[in-house]
Amino acid sequence: MEKNYVIVMKNICKQYPGVLANDQVNFNLEAGEIHGLLGENGAGKSTLMNILYGMQQPTAGDIFINGKKTQIDSPKKALDCGIGMVHQHFMLIKNYSVAANVMLGMRKKLGLKLDEQLASKYLEDFYQEMTHFKVDTKVKIEELPVGLQQRVEIIKILFRGAKILILDEPTAVLTPHETDELFIILKKFKIDGYSIIFISHKLDEIMEITDRVTVMRAGKVIGEVQTKRTNKAELARMMVGRDVIFSLPKKPAKIGEVVLEVKNLAVAVEWGTAIKNLTFSVSRGEILGVAGVDGNGQKELVEAIVGLRPKSAGTVHIMQQDFTKITPTEYMQRCSHIPEDRHEVGVILDYSIADNLILTTHVQEPFSYKGMLNEKAIMKNALEQITDYGIKTPGPNVKVKSLSGGNQQKVVVSREISKCPELLIAVNPTRGIDVGSIEEIQLKILAERDQGKAILLVSTELDEVLALSDRVAVIYEGEFMGITSPETPRASIGLMMAGSRLVEE
């Protein structure tokens, strides 16, 4: 029997200067299915979907919608064809109301006049025919939690009559509970006849929610399988191109003296209190992992410890010395910090690799002496690090912006680890890089722990925290819901991430 394909993408190629992002990709979507699109960062998933949504034009290839060859030259065209996309980074105007966001760009349908009142009325009317969920029409986006912002995105495309939904990494910003809720909604949509493309690099989610999976690697489609007939290991192999170790080789921890001791720390920010009365310590030879959904105070916690942000109360001791009033300059001279955002913070894109490798150590000997830079030492250091960490580059004088994400991150990690301090703070050390680099970096961090460093690992990837840490602290709205063992069931950690306290037994 002929299958009912709503979308067929044939031999799609997309050439960027120097990169072939999509190489003869074939992709199809059946009516009423949830179709997973699986691949690592940089595998070409987003490029393919941007082409389908009209944000990018393919260099070659055809798109058929409901069997008709269609050229999608703009998002408008895609929307007209009934295709809507929920982007990974929300496309919402923060200081507009929910209703105004939904009504934005609907001039043809709604007419010229528009204000908050009118927009709100239109949306209320729409809610009459929409049964799945509702969001208060008059609230401003910036006042909504992330989960609800995502719903606004979905309402936005439903209002435009989309029957095909593209969801780009929709769970990346959600708590496990919010993810469950989203999945319930998606299943309802499926019953109502919507077709859904679900983009992810998380195997568990793909296994749970999809009917079929297309796996991409390095711009190519590696295969297309029925979810029922496959398993995690096979999908991982297709995605990465080799067998993947699901558990890291972890020796038992040899815990030594306390290195970092934080007592009753509080951090006030513009909008309130980001960190409320946190107390914890990290000792030699252990990794304390901090898990939690993005935006629950992780950033403020780290910035306060390293001196980039003032503390409103509490004390910080490093090696028994009072460092409550530490400046970033002092911190960097004795400790390490792998920052959250490598592009914005971790590297200077326009500096060479060699110069970036001394970013936090350039005031120390041998890199400089009495204010003069020592180019020989800088170059020697660069060559060593490039070999030690396998940074793929033509040479040390290449600008960091020309490196891939994984190699940029290796520059940051190698710089911070090779400083050899007692304390390492690592924030999302493997976000947005390829599996190969992830493994290398995680193994390096474990090796540092075994050598007796104290490591504070802050990550929004729960899997990473559980795999690396010796103890896991779950942060929610600036407080620890509890500090527990990494063997704790995921469900209870999920509950803690959503704000329920650890129940002591």
Binding mask 288-307 for another protein (x = CB under 8 A): ------------------x-
- For another protein, which is the closer residue by CB, 114 or 443? 114
User: With binding defined as CB under 8 A, does residue 420 bind another protein?
Assistant: no
Q: Which is nearer to another protein, 127 or 369 (CB)?
A: 369
Give alpha helix (H) positions in 389-459. Answer: 405-417, 435-450
Judged by CB under 8 A, the stretch of 11-19, 132-140, 202-210, 226-234 that binds another protein is 11-19
Helix intervals (H) in 228-372? 232-240, 298-306, 328-334, 353-356
Contacts (CB under 8 A) with another protein, residues 232-291? none
β-strand partners of 22: 14
Total chain residues near another protein (CB under 8 A): 72
- Least CB distance from residue 70 to another protein, whole Å? 15
- Given 32, 61, 223, 486, the residue binding another protein (CB under 8 A): 61
Question: Among residues 220 and 263, whose Cβ is nearest to another protein?
Answer: 220
Q: Figure out which of the listed residues 226, 279, 329, 485 binds another protein, where binding follows CB under 8 A.
A: 329
Report how far residue 189's alpha carbon sits from residue 183's, in angstroms, rounded to the nearest whole number.
Answer: 10
Instruction: Select the residue interacting with another protein from 85, 165, 199, 496 (CB under 8 A).
Output: 85
Beta carbons of 434 and 406 less than 8 angstroms apart = yes
Within residues 91-120, the interface with another protein by CB under 8 A covers 91-96, 100, 103-107, 110-115
Candidate ranges 177-185, 288-296, 371-379, 497-505; the one touching another protein (CB under 8 A): 371-379
Footprint on residues 374-393 left by another protein (CB under 8 A): 375
Considering only 122, 194, 331, 389, the residue that binds another protein (CB under 8 A) is 331
List the interface residues with another protein, window 441-470 (CB under 8 A).
Answer: none
Q: Between 114 and 379, name the residue whose CB sits nearer to another protein.
A: 114
Kindly state whether residue 55 participates in binding another protein, applying the rule CB under 8 A. yes
**Among 16-24, 28-36, 185-193, 493-501, which window interacts with another protein (CB under 8 A)?**
16-24
CB-based burial label for 228 (10 Å; 0-12, 13-18, 19+) = exposed
- Closest to another protein by CB, 252 or 271: 271
372 binds another protein (CB under 8 A): yes
Binders of another protein in range 134-163 (CB under 8 A): 156
φ/ψ of residue 163, rounded to 5: -110, -15
E-assigned strand segments in 227-324 = 258-269, 272-283, 287-291, 313-318, 321-322
140 in Cβ contact with 97 (< 8 Å): yes
Residue 76: count of CB within 10 angstroms of its CB: 13
Distance in Å, CB of 407 to another protein, minimum = 17
75 contributes a contact to another protein by CB under 8 A = yes
Taking the complex as a whole, how short is the minimal distance between the CB of residue 56 and another protein, in angstroms?
7
Q: Residue 231, interface with another protein (CB under 8 A)?
A: no
Which 25-54 positions form the footprint of another protein (CB under 8 A)? 53-54
What is the nearest approach in angstroms of another protein to the Cβ of residue 387? 23
Tell me if residue 117 falls in helix, strand or coil: helix
Residue span binding another protein (CB under 8 A) among the ranges 271-279, 367-375, 479-487, 492-500:
367-375
When computed from its CA atoms, the radius of gyration of the chain, rounded to whole angstroms, is: 25
Cβ burial, residue 61 (10 Å; 0-12/13-18/19+):
middle
* 79 three-state secondary structure: helix
> How far, rounded to the nearest angstrom, does the alpha carbon of residue 361 sit from its chain's CA centroid?
28
- Residue from 30, 181, 211, 330 in contact with another protein (CB under 8 A): 330
- Which ranges in 225-360 belong to alpha helices (H)? 232-240, 298-306, 328-334, 353-356
Q: Which residues of 320-358 are buried (b: 16+ CB within 10 A; e: fewer)?
A: eeebbebeeeebbeebbbbbbebeeebbeeeebbbbbbb
Rounded-to-integer distance, Cα 38 and Cα 35, Å: 10
Binding mask 333-362 for another protein (x = CB under 8 A): x---x-x----xxxxxxxx---x---xx-x
3-state secondary structure of 485: coil
Residue 332 as a binder of another protein (CB under 8 A): the answer is yes
